[in-house]
Structure 1
Amino acid sequence: MMPLRYPAALLAGLLAAAFLLWLMQMLVTPRQQRLSADDSTGLIEFVRLRREEQLQLKDRRPPPPPRQAKPLPRPRMAFSNDIRQPVPQLDMQVDLNLPLEFGDGPFLGAPSTQLDRDFMPLSRQPPRYPYQAERRGIEGWVRVTFRITETGTVEDVKVLESDPPGIFDQAAVNAVYRWRFKPRISNGQAVAGRAEQVVDFKLRD
C-alpha cells in the first residue's frame, strides 16, 4: 500500500502546482496588459498635449513686421542758368482821337461848344501777356472796338483784327473791359459812344 500512495501524492502535488501557476498567470497577465494600455494611453495623451503646447506657443509668437518698401528716388530736374525769360513791355497808349460813333446815328464830329467834352481815360489796366506767346517770343497787336457808357464803363468789346490772329485777342478784350473813362459830354449831358483802340503786345529786349 505504501508504494502506491507516494506516486499518487506526487501527481496530485504536480497538478496542484500547475493549477496554481496557471491561476497566478491569469491573475497577473490582465494586470500587466492594463498597465501597458494605461501607459500607452498616457504616452499618447502626453504626446498630444506636448504638440498642442507647441502649437499654442507658435501661435502666440507675434508676426514679423512687414518690410518697408524702399523710397523711390526723387527725380532730379535739370535747369539751365542761361535761359532768359523775356519781360513783357506793353504799349498802352490809348488813341482816343479816332472817330467815335454815337448810337445808331451819324458821326457828330468834334465838339463845337464849351459844354462838349471828349472821352478821357481814367484807368487803363494793361493786359496780361499770354504765357505761350511770351515763352516763344511772339509779339503782335489787336484792334478792338468797344462801347463807353454814360457812366464811363466799357461794354461790348469786339475784335476787329489782330496779328497774329487769335494769339492776343482774349487778353486784349479782358483788359479793355477793365478800363474806365470820363464819359463824353454833349450839350451838357453825358452820352455813350463807341471807340476803337489798338493794343500792342511787345517784349522788352
Structure 2
Amino acid sequence: MAVRHGIAALMALGITFGLFYLMQYLISMGSERGADIRKGQVIEFVRLKRDTETQTRKRELPKKEKPPEPPPPPELQMSQTDAPDSDAMAISAPDLSAGPDLGSGPNMGAPSDSDSVPLVRVPPQYPIRAAERGIEGWVVLRFTITAAGTVVNPEVLDANPKRIFDRAAKRALKKWKYRPRIVDGVAIDRVEEVKLSFDLDDI
C-alpha cells in the first residue's frame, strides 16, 4: 500500500510541474504577440514639400493666311450681229381710231312701265266681340300705294255690318307692302281699292 501511495504522489507532482510549465509557456507567448501587435499599430507620417513654382505656357495663335484673290472675270465681247434689230422688233399696233358703230342697234336702256304688285299681305285680326257674338262681314277700302311701296290713307268706302270690322281692316292694310307702279322708269303713287272679308271659318 505504501508503494502505491508513493507512486501516485510522484505522478501527481509530475503532472503539477508539467501544468505549471505549460502555463508559463502560454503566458510568455501571449506577451510576445501583444508586443508585436502594439508595434504594428505605429504609423509614421511623412510630409512632402509642395512645389510652389508653376510653369506657365504661352499659347501662340497660328497666323492667318490671306485668301488668294479671285481672278478677274473674263471680258465678254458682243458682236454687232448679236444685238437685236430695232426695226425687226417693231410691231404694228392696230388702228383703234375707228370704233364699232353702236348707234345703229336697238336701245337696250329704255325704261319699262309696270303696274303695282303686292309683296306682303297681312290678314286682319278678327275682333273678339264679333267672334263671341258670331258676327261675320266685309269691308271695302280705298288706299294709296306710295313710290316706296307702303300703304297710306286707308279709307272705308262700304262695310257690312257698319263699324264692326273697320278698325281691324285699316290696321291690317297699313302693314301691306307693294312693288310700286313704274311709269317711264320712275316709281309713282297709285290709288287702289280692296275688299276684306271676315269669316268665322278663317279664325
Shorter chain as denominator, the TM-score bin is 0.3 to 0.5
| TM-score normalised over the length of structure 2 | 0.44
| TM-score normalised over the length of structure 1 | 0.44
More helix by share: 1
Greater relative contact order, per chain length (Cα 8 Å cut-off, separation 6+): 1
